[in-house]
Structure 1
C-alpha cells in the first residue's frame, strides 16, 4: 500500500454501508486513495457477502459492490479487492469525468443508496452527467425514490445542487427491475446552508401505492389508517394521501406509503413504510404516520433520515453550515467521522439552548472544506 493511501476502518460506529459510500465518494472528489478494511463489520454477515438465501443481505451486497464500481467508473480510477466476501478494498481515484454511467446490481438493491454514493462525485465533473440506476426503487432499510425526489432533492437545492430524477420503472423486492435516470449538473462550489428555523407545518401529502397483483384495497387501507393517525395530533390541516394502483410503470409486486410534511420556511420531512407478507395494510399506514409525527414533535428542520445524507454536502461546502435537528443519529455521527477524515471540514454538535419542549433539538455546525470543481 502506498504511503499516501488513507486507511479507513469500516467497523467503526455504524459499521455498515454508509462508511463505504461516504469514504469512496470523498476519495473520488479529493483524489485521495483509500483502503477500507473490516467492511460492514457491524453487520451479521460482514463484507461484500451474499448472506443467507432468505436474507435481505443477498440484495445489499451487489448494491455495495455496484456502488463502488460506479464510483470507480466516474473517477476513472482503479478498484482492488471488490468481490463477494471481501472485507477489504482499495480505491485509487483518477480524474472525475462526465458522461453516461450505468449501475445495475441485478437485484432489488436500493437505487436511492446508489445515488447517495454517486451524486456528490457527479457534481465535480466538467459537464452534465447521466446516471442510469437500476434495482429497487422502494426498498427496505433505504430511502424510497419518492423520498429522494420530494425531500432530499429540494433540500440539496439550498446548497446550489441541481439534478433531475426521471423514474422510468419502479422495482420491488426481491426482483428489483426498477430504473431511474438521474441527470446531474456540475457545480463550481457548494454553498453553505443555514436551516435553524422550522416555522409552522403548512402542508401534509403523500401517496399510498400497490403494484403488480396486489389488490387496490391495500392502498386505500394504508391511506385511511395514516390520515386517521395524523389527525389525532394535527387537526387543522388538510391531508392528501391518494391511493394509487401502479400497473405499466412497475416491475414486481409491492405496496407502501410515503407521507410528506412541508413547513413555512421550506423544510421537508417524511415518514414511510413498505408492506410485508403477513402485515396488515393499516399497520403499514400507521407506521409511516407515526414516523412522520415523531420527526415533527421536535422543532428541527430535517428528519432523522435526511440528517446523515446532508453531512457530505456540508463538508464540501464553502463556509459555515448550521442545521437544527432532533437527536443526532449514529448514521450521522459516522458520516461526520468519515468526512473529517477525508476533508478539512470541522463539525461541532451542540444542544439548542432555546428549546422549551420535551423534545430537545441539536445544532450541527460545519466549517466546510470549500472544495472547488477544478474543471469549471
Structure 2
C-alpha cells in the first residue's frame, strides 16, 4: 500500500505540458505504491485541465488498484491519487468521446503487467485519433517491441471508432511478469520491406483509400526503389466501424527486426494524395535517422526501461519533447538512472539502469 503521508508533487506544466505527464505519473504511482499530486494539469494546452480521456485513464488505474482519487472531474487542473494493490480481473473504460483508446492503454497496461494474474481491458473510444498513435501502430509496432521487454499482450480490435463520435472497441489481454527484461537495440540493420494499411469508413468511397496508398507508395519508391512496398487498401464494413474516417499507417521492417512507422489521418479539405504523402514522409524521416525505434516508440519505452531489471540501451533519432518528459517523470518517481549520448546529428543512445521492480504477487 502507498504511504499516504508522503506525496510526490508533480508540475504538469513542465516540458511537454500535456496528458503524458499525468499518464506516466499515475502509472508509476500505481506500480510503486507512491501517492502523487499533479498540479497545473495540461497547462501547455489551449484547453487546460482534465479532458474526458485523461479522466477515464485515471479512473481505470484507480479501479485496477483500488486507489483513491481526488480532483477527478473534467476540467480539473489538480489531482491527488493514492494507489492500492494492483488486482487482476476484467476492466472497462469508456471515454464516451473519440478520445484515444491507445492513450488509455499507455496508462493502464504497465500497471497490469504487475498484477496477480491475466487481466482483460475493454476500452471504448477513438481507435484512430489525432495527437495519438493509431491502434494499428500499437498492434504492429509497439506490441513486438514491448515483447522484447517481456511485456506480452493480445490486442483484439472489435470495432473502429473515428472523430467525433468515437464508439470504437478494443479488447486487451495482459499477461503479468515477475520483472521487466532490459533491452539492448543498437543495430538498425538495413531496410527490408514496407507494409501498410490505407482505409476509409462510413460514407467515404474506397477510391480515397486507393489514392492515399498510391501516393504513399510513390513517395517511398522514389526514396527506396528496390524495397518491396505492400499497402492494404480497405473499405471498413459498416459493422466494423463507427462514424466516417480515413487514414493510412505504414511500417518499415529492417534486417535486424527494427520496426518504424509513419501515419496520417484524412481531414476535410485535404486531398487524399497529400495524406498518403504525409505518412510516407514521416516514415522516410524515421528510416533516414538510422535509429532502432521511431518517434512514437521512443517515449513509450522510457517507462519500461525505468522498470527493467538491468541496463537498457536503445539507439534513437533526435530526442523528442515527449521523451524528455517521460524521462523527467521517471527520474522524479524512481531511482532509475538515465543517460543520453549524442551519437551524431540525428542519432542518440538512451541508456537506463532500471530499478528492477519485482511483481510480489507472482
Deviation at 1:2, TM superposition (A): 5.2
CA contact (8 A) 2:151 2:177 kept: yes
The equivalent residue for 1:55 is none
Q: Secondary structure at the match of 1:241?
A: strand
How far apart, CA to CA, are the structure 1 residues paired with 2:116 and 2:101? 24
Deviates more, 1:337-346 or 1:283-292: 337-346
Q: 2:322 aligns with which of 331, 337, 341?
A: 331
The equivalent residue for 2:276 is 285
- Summarize the alignment of residues 1-376 of structure 1 with structure 2, pairs less than 5 Å apart: 3-48=5-50, 61-247=51-237, 248-352=239-343, 355=344, 359-376=345-362
How far apart, CA to CA, are the structure 1 residues paired with 2:10 and 2:274? 40
Listed as ranges, the gaps of 5+ residues in structure 2 are none
Q: Residue by residue, what CA displacement relative to the aligned partner does 1:129-148 show, whole Å, maximum 9, x if unpaired?
A: 10000000000000000000
CA contact (8 A) 2:4 2:82 kept: no
Q: Secondary structure at the match of 1:230?
A: helix
How far apart, CA to CA, are the structure 2 residues paired with 1:242 and 1:5? 49
Q: Secondary structure at the match of 2:16?
A: coil
How far apart, CA to CA, are the structure 2 residues paired with 1:76 and 1:263? 43
Scaled by the length of structure 1, the TM-score of the pair is 0.94
Equivalent residue pairs, number: 359
How far apart, CA to CA, are the structure 1 residues paired with 2:25 and 2:241? 33
Deviation at 1:44, TM superposition (A): 1.2
Deviation at 1:360, TM superposition (A): 2.5
How far apart, CA to CA, are the structure 1 residues paired with 2:169 and 2:195? 24
How far apart, CA to CA, are the structure 2 residues paired with 1:317 and 1:169? 34
Listed as ranges, the gaps of 5+ residues in structure 1 are 49-60
Q: Residue by residue, what CA displacement relative to the aligned partner does 1:49-96 show, whole Å, maximum 9, x if unpaired?
A: xxxxxxxxxxxx110000000000011101000112210000000010
The equivalent residue for 1:52 is none
How far apart, CA to CA, are the structure 2 residues paired with 1:39 and 1:142? 18
The equivalent residue for 1:58 is none
Q: Residue by residue, what CA displacement relative to the aligned partner does 1:192-241 show, whole Å, maximum 9, x if unpaired?
A: 00011011111101010000110110000000000001111100011001
How far apart, CA to CA, are the structure 2 residues paired with 1:95 and 1:369? 19
How far apart, CA to CA, are the structure 1 residues paired with 2:224 and 2:121? 39
Q: Which structure 1 residue ranges, 4+ long, deviate > 4 Å from structure 2?
A: none
Q: Residue by residue, what CA displacement relative to the aligned partner does 1:263-297 show, whole Å, maximum 9, x if unpaired?
A: 11111000000000111000000000000000011
Scaled by the length of structure 2, the TM-score of the pair is 0.98
